[in-house]
Structure 1
Amino acid sequence: MAGAATIAGPTTALADELITLKTRAGVTQSMQLWEPHGRSPKAVILLIPGGDGNIGLKLENGKAVAEGPHLFSQHRELFEQAGLAVAVLDAPTDQQEMTQQFRTSSLHMNDMGALLSELGRRFPQTPIALVAHSRGTISAGYTAQRFGAQISAMVLLSGLYRATAPDPQLPSYGPGLSKIDLHALKMPVLLIHHRADACPLAPIAGALEPAGNLRMITVEDLGQNEAKHPCGPGTKHWFVGQEVAIEQALIRWLLEGKWEPRLAAPST
């Protein structure tokens, strides 16, 4: 059951609204809502950042802002111009870092269910798509498996498809998406991956294994990384130099696809 929503900032539907839900006892979960101006959205994207997932949402002059970077945070206008509403996920208040273990947990699924219910309540006739990057793809995969009837499509960018063992050099270990049968999900799924992704958690071979007959876009750019850490911003894992092209491709795929109606009404 979704928790009660507390709206921080304007009470009307405006861009950059901070939505905070009471999802569990003593825990709140926030998301930043970008919304196209002056029109109803063609679809709603629940954008799930990678890494620790803690983007530090806060109010600044009555407007929701994120302290930390995430994929597409600098190119949001493309979503808005395409007529898409975007809700950007932050970490819940009891998680400084959203590990793989947490992202696969029932606690996280409780939070995600509350978010989907809130988006469904706000946009009852609008398709909802999950778009996730890196470690966020684990959240997306488990959410799609649990709440598939409320989701119309899913896009996984730089996904973590293989299980990884504990390693002091890796920021997060765990099952990845190895336990999720992507082909069994009752929704269209798009995989986007860089062939030269050097992040040890997300090799291209791991993405090719589950692809099968799923739609997949591979990036061939051979440019140099702009950062030293292979999994951080400024790398091929973040599609450095190709962010706009990738965003345009996933938007085109979403808008040209045949949306399946959501089968489940939002919880109350």
Structure 2
Amino acid sequence: MLAAGAAGPPRADPAPAPAAGVASAVHDLSIQGRAQRVVLVAPPAPRAVLVMLPGGAGNVGIRPDGTLARGDNFLVRTRAQFAARGFAVLIPDAAGTGNLRGRRRTPAYGDVVRALAAFAGKQTGRPVFLVGTSQGAIAAANGAARAPAGQMTGQITGEVAGLVLTEAVSVLGGSRESVYDADLAAVRVPVLILANRDDACPVSPPAQAPKIAAALSGAPSVTVEEVAGGRPGKPCGALSPHGYLGIEDEVVGLISAWIDARLAASAR
């Protein structure tokens, strides 16, 4: 999630032990002629599948056994927590050059995200939610803007049922792109925006959350949630308030509750 440059050496990820019945599988896909590796973590009967789009370069280093070379990112290190709450989680690696900086706003990468959503839906048969953090929020918003709104019926549609943006990059930094470079007005699904008032990263100021919400003018609903806290670290690093270090349970709970509310609303 290193939104504004390097923030120390990443930690290797030993792949947290899954709960009973939770499966983890690596898939090597071909998207737009490029090799795309993903890891899918799924409980036996998931309620939804979350396509997690990390920040920074996006290069998490998925190994064939499902462990990761770089496991600091909030969306990566909490995958077992989401699975324990009944959600499948799909994490993609960075394809091609291994660096997604400056590419996430492009139509081509929006179509990559849409292809990832289609794969996730086909594998699980469940509604697909795009979840992006920091620079990954640009990718999530771009993918949602390019995908028709999905029907949350449990059918294999490959469409997007909702969008979650956490600590979204909203000020231009080294990557020269922000969440506003996605076509936010074209998003046609419910959106949750999370902002940590203690996030000191200069490219993701929490005060921008209402402005991001206002730009999502075509979304049927936009919810803004503010959190506070987190253990100190490098301002734009994953292991800091920018990456919810120390308040992961609270944030995972907020995201899970919002998704469950969307699923319940669709069933009425």
Same fold (TM over 0.5): yes
Contact persistence 2:52–2:130 (CA under 8 A): yes
* Deviation for aligned residue 1:248: 1.1
**Secondary structure in 2 aligned to 1:120?**
helix
**Secondary structure in 2 aligned to 1:16?**
strand
| Equivalence for 2:42 | 35
| Equivalence for 1:104 | 105
Instruction: Specify whether residues 157 and 99 from structure 1 end up closer, same or farther in structure 2 by C-alpha distance, changes over 3 A only.
Output: same
**Secondary structure in 1 aligned to 2:57?**
coil
Which residue, 207, 212, 220 being the options, matches 2:228? Answer: 220
* Deviation for aligned residue 1:151: 0.3
Contact persistence 1:72–1:243 (CA under 8 A): no
**Secondary structure in 2 aligned to 1:104?**
coil
1:46 aligns with 2:51: yes
> With structure 1 as the length reference, what TM-score do the two structures score?
0.78
Which residue, 187, 207, 211 being the options, matches 1:209? Answer: 211
1:240 aligns with 2:241: no
* Deviation for aligned residue 1:141: 0.6
Distance 2:188 2:107 in 1: 21
How do residues 126-141 of structure 1 correspond to structure 2 at under 5 angstroms? Answer: 126-141=126-141
| Equivalence for 1:148 | 148
Which residue, 253, 258, 265 being the options, matches 1:253? Answer: 258
How do residues 71-86 of structure 1 correspond to structure 2 at under 5 angstroms? Answer: 71-86=74-89
Distance 1:224 1:83 in 2: 27
Instruction: Specify whether residues 121 and 220 from structure 1 end up closer, same or farther in structure 2 by C-alpha distance, changes over 3 A only.
Output: closer
Amino acid at match of 1:114: A
Contact persistence 2:76–2:91 (CA under 8 A): no
* Deviation for aligned residue 1:76: 2.8
Contact persistence 1:135–1:160 (CA under 8 A): yes
How do residues 83-98 of structure 1 correspond to structure 2 at under 5 angstroms? Answer: 83-92=86-95, 94-98=96-100
Identity of aligned residues (%): 27
Deviations 1:209-235 (A, max 9, x none): 1224721111123x651x2x3101221
Unaligned runs of 5+ in 1: 1-12, 165-169, 262-268
Distance 1:75 1:96 in 2: 22
Contact persistence 1:47–1:131 (CA under 8 A): yes
- How many matched pairs? 230
Distance 1:260 1:77 in 2: 26
Contact persistence 1:134–1:160 (CA under 8 A): yes
**Secondary structure in 1 aligned to 2:76?**
coil
Instruction: Specify whether residues 242 and 19 from structure 1 end up closer, same or farther in structure 2 by C-alpha distance, changes over 3 A only.
Output: same
Distance 1:140 1:121 in 2: 19
Instruction: Specify whether residues 253 and 161 from structure 1 end up closer, same or farther in structure 2 by C-alpha distance, changes over 3 A only.
Output: same
**Secondary structure in 2 aligned to 1:64?**
coil
Flag the structure with larger Rg.
1
Amino acid at match of 2:105: T
Distance 1:180 1:104 in 2: 5
* Deviation for aligned residue 1:187: 1.0
Deviations 1:30-73 (A, max 9, x none): 1110011xx321100001111110000111xxx31111022143
> With structure 2 as the length reference, what TM-score do the two structures score?
0.78
Instruction: Specify whether residues 219 and 23 from structure 1 end up closer, same or farther in structure 2 by C-alpha distance, changes over 3 A only.
Output: same
Contact persistence 1:152–1:260 (CA under 8 A): no
Distance 1:90 1:141 in 2: 18
**Secondary structure in 1 aligned to 2:236?**
coil
Root-mean-square deviation over aligned CA pairs? 2.2
